[in-house]
Amino acid sequence: MTTQPHLPAADPALVSRAAFGPDFVWGTATAAYQIEGAVDRDGRGPSIWDTFSHQRGKIKTGEHGDIACEFYDRYEDDLRLHKALGFPHFRFSIAWSRILPDGLGPQHGGRVNEAGLAFYDRLIDHCLSLGMTPWITLYHWDLPQALENLGGWPNRKIVDWFADYVDVCTKAFGPKVKHWIILNEPLASSVLGYFTGTHAPGRRSLRALLPSIHHTALAQAEGGRVVRRNVPDAHVGTTFSCSPVDPYTDSTRDRAAAKRVDALLNRLFIEPALGLGYPTDELSFLNGIFKKHAQPGDLEKLAFDFDFIGLQHYFRVVVEHTYFVPYIWSKDISPLSRGVQTITEMGWEVNPDSLYRVIQRFSQYDGIRKLYITESGAAFYDTVQQGHVHDPQRISYHQDYLQSVLRAKNDGFAVDGYFVWTFLDNFEWAEGYRPRFGLVYVDFRTQQRIVKDSGHWFQQLLTDPVDWSAHPKTH
């Protein structure tokens, strides 16, 4: 680790670990394809992101995740660095095709890759030996290519295929791991993967949209049931990308457009899980699920009583009505065109109050018992200067967003953790390696790690001693 530079202190008047209480969960979040590399090692089968990233024009920078951060080989040193930064919780995903190279479990004629199980077993053991708590995400978008060849998420059989995969993972790791996340942002993997084509597998299909949504929602609940069955003392959740949606003007048409976009972005997968069904009043096209794809009893199968919901928030959305976008009849008004002053490298508006609003919004649902911020972060133009990476904008971002979390917590909302996106600079999906979200800078040519000022800021926040007897326990 580099020598700690001079940087703005974690001002306890603005945000302090003590203010969140001793039970608040502090961690970082990562994903297998974005950091592991070793895509053709030790029996791992190809995933849809391996295929997609090697297709010309799919990744903006023309790059792929074959090597990424070499976490597969460097996890021991990386986890020691994670521990040194003060984070006691580490969220990572399992690569489905590293466990089941053909996608299928033994129940459907597939084979289990023992070398894949052994890797994650070593990873989990190393977390535990360092005193860090592992949080496993079962699906973070990297479907085995073999299953895509059989139809992918639009094929209803995938619900059973996913259940078999979850069964293998939970039987292998359940004795050691108690925190399980079923899906990461199902809206992205279904809509971006099968309708807009901007994410793997890159399909642009009206026909594939509804079945991929429905089967993903069914798998979300079925995966939860498998975890609960195999790991009785598990803490089971799932995660959603979520954004406040505001109308550009107060016109009736813009307000109606905002309601439709809100139903798509924020309600599409949480409401079926809560037994409320799909938001068909705002999105009438979803009625096609029950006309063409649902089977008897599906409405009940969509529901599962999760222990927690993970909220992943990056930006506010402002929309206006348009006749040129089918189904939602709306378009996004970019932060630049709205004159927003603080924008990330991704073009996203920095608006800390938005995080408070999504916490408030999801807390209003009956049936949600606990919330975690399972991703929050920002990409800025990071550069190395004399061995250091000065990123004051990222420090300000996390400080301000943590203030919103604390405000929500103090207002009585059950938000009990914050996972930074992300630990290491990584392969940012269709954006390639250019956007850097990490607390640790990665030189992708040499694989050198340099802790950014923001990483040192969190280190100070999380490792400074706290006299808990002087602080009353929070909600």
- Least confident stretch, 5-14, 76-85, 181-190, 380-389: 5-14
Hey, what are 66's tokens? 């074959």
Nearest to 450 by CA among 391, 378, 374: 391
Distance CA(76)–CA(79), nearest Å, equals: 5
Query: pLDDT tens digits for 235-277?
Result: 999 999 999 999 999 999 999 999 999 999 999 999 999 999 9
Q: Is 442 helix (H, G, I), strand (E, B) or coil?
A: strand
* Residue 399, CB-side half-sphere exposure with 13 Å CA sphere: 21
> Is residue 304 scored above 60 in pLDDT?
yes
CA 362: distance to chain centroid? 17
Query: pLDDT tens digits for 206-246?
Result: 899 999 999 999 999 999 999 999 999 999 999 999 999 99
Catalytic residue (choose from 36, 148, 185, 428)? 185
* Residue 58, CB-side half-sphere exposure with 13 Å CA sphere: 25
Query: pLDDT tens digits for 91-116?
Result: 999 999 999 999 999 999 999 999 99
CA 248: distance to chain centroid? 28
Catalytic residue (choose from 148, 222, 349, 375)? 375
> Is residue 4 scored above 50 in pLDDT?
no
Which distant-in-sequence residues (6+ apart) come within 8 Å of 98 by Cβ?
A: 32, 42, 43, 44, 45, 113, 116, 119, 120
Task: Tell me the pLDDT band of 2, cut-offs 50, 70 and 90.
Answer: very low
Q: Interior CA angle at 269 toward 348 and 267, to 5°?
A: 65
Residue 86 CA: distances (Å) to CA of 138, 177, 376, 463: 25, 20, 17, 6
Which pLDDT belongs to residue 473?
Answer: 60
- Least confident stretch, 177-181, 322-326, 367-371, 395-399: 322-326
Task: Tell me the pLDDT band of 175, cut-offs 50, 70 and 90.
Answer: very high
Hey, what are 272's tokens? 């079926």
* Residue 424, CB-side half-sphere exposure with 13 Å CA sphere: 30
Distance CA(84)–CA(192), nearest Å, equals: 36
375 as an active site residue: the answer is yes
- DSSP structural state of residue 103: S
Query: pLDDT tens digits for 437-473?
Result: 999 999 999 999 999 999 999 999 999 999 887 776 6
Strand order in the sheet with 330-332: 245-247, 317-321, 330-332
Hey, what are 237's tokens? 């959740």
Which distant-in-sequence residues (6+ apart) come within 8 Å of 86 by Cβ?
A: 26, 458, 459, 461, 462, 463
Which pLDDT belongs to residue 14?
Answer: 75
CA 140: distance to chain centroid? 7
